[in-house]
Structure 1
Amino acid sequence: MTSHLKIDFVSDVACPWCAVGLGSLEAALRRVAPDVTAELHFQPFELNPQMPPEGQDTFEHLNQKYGSTREQQEQSREMIRARGAEVGFEFHPEGRPRVYNTFDAHRLLHWAGLEDAGRQLALKKRLLKAFFTDRENPSDHAVLVRLAGEVGLDAARAREILASDEFAQETRERERMYTDAGIHSVPAIIINDHHLISGGQPVEVFERALRQIAGAQPSGVVSA
């Protein structure tokens, strides 16, 4: 008998571990198919909700936030690049030049989810690639409209949404819902509204958890 899971993937398009985690989750889903199937829903989380429109230099941002040196940041970048390569995600070797505000990207993702779950997934992956591989600005409306069109969404409608405050309230409400539930770091993967897997876990961890949950095992938390 096939088990179907609902998966809410809480994340930010400016989160490198979210790119790794999504790649790992998709690989795990391929391993458990066709016995286990799932529908992904992407939920908003902003790592830097107060980030101004012009963004901030990445080294400066991480240094201020974590106190990390250039050498430490380089080591972290290399580790993330290696983890990404394991699941087929390519990080630019020089990293991202700036950190940007991602709220409008989340508004578009909310809209895409209302349109079609498959296109929301495609847009999420395209946004991650644009930021981490192509070093594009995920707050630039021209970039967002282009990416929406590339994954088969209505580019004119995307432009209309971005020019307004449409879906802003809904996006804020969802952000608050997850932070109020105790989620303060991402990725956070919630399965069937009950089981939480935290962090950019290896494929094997996701696979084991998916099989356990599909088999109606007791709920639990898997932490990074």
Structure 2
Amino acid sequence: MTNPIHVDIVSDVVCPWCAIGYHQLASAARDTGIDIEVHWHPFELNPGMAEDGENLRAHLAAKYGTTPEGSIEARARLTEMGAALGFTFNYADDMRMYNTFRAHQMIDWAEDQGRGHEAKMALFAAFFTDRRDVSDIGVLAEVAGEIGLDQSAASSMLDSGERAEVVREKERFWTDRGVQGVPAVIFERQHLVTGAQGAATYASILEQLKAAKAA
């Protein structure tokens, strides 16, 4: 890449708007021809969630007051938006929400091997498209193997918890700086944009930053 735009994205792998927002940004980068360098950072939507997770509809009802009708409508909207961006949301009534602390540890481990972005993309797909349990060490190790990393080493790393405190520190870094919701997208380490803003908005931001770099 030639002087790409540096983009930090604070997100969770079970956050649908994080998946949408990234794909909108990627679309904007392609459409404008502007290179971006993406770095992912951990955020847990449900840090206190039980090991075995919760039914997604029940979880949304308890946390946000979402009605069954509202849940169906939201899922349909996300599915349509995802399809337009080339991402598949494969929702089901029995789908579960999971604790993602181990998933973030896997991404952090993959980042050290130059595969953090691939790990993030694979985990978005594992959860939303394939409905896999992204809290399960076996599943996470399999995903690591699928992106070309050592599956056995991934399993051992997750089982040992060796990345736990490092990831906790990274989570605190962003929450201490006011990040309370995701996606939180930081361009060039100084311009914070929250939420999935749409490809057109991201394209405008990239164009402005490119012009500023050239000035």
Structure 2 unaligned residues grouped into runs of 5+: none
For residues 20 and 95 of structure 1, do their structure 2 counterparts lie closer, same or farther at Cα, with a shift above 3 Å needed? farther
Query: Could you list the per-position Cα deviations for residues 159-197 of structure 1 after superposition, in whole angstroms to 9, with x for gaps in the alignment?
Result: 111111111111111111111111111111111110112
- Distance in 1 (alpha carbons) for counterparts of 2:86 and 2:108: 25
- Distance in 1 (alpha carbons) for counterparts of 2:64 and 2:14: 16
The 5 A counterparts of 1:26-175 are 26-33=26-33, 36-94=34-92, 97-116=95-114, 119-175=115-171
Deviating 4+ runs (over 4 angstroms): none
One-letter amino acid of the counterpart of residue 109, structure 2:
W
- Distance in 2 (alpha carbons) for counterparts of 1:209 and 1:123: 26
Task: Give 1:65 deviation, angstroms.
Answer: 0.5
TM-score by length of 1: 0.90
Matched residues, percent identical?
42
**Cα RMSD over matched residues?**
1.4
- Distance in 2 (alpha carbons) for counterparts of 1:178 and 1:27: 26
Match of 2:197 among 195, 201, 204: 201
SS of residue paired to 1:216 = helix
1:20 and 1:84 in contact (8 A); partners too:
yes
Query: Could you list the per-position Cα deviations for residues 62-100 of structure 1 after superposition, in whole angstroms to 9, with x for gaps in the alignment?
Result: 111111110011111111111111211110142661111
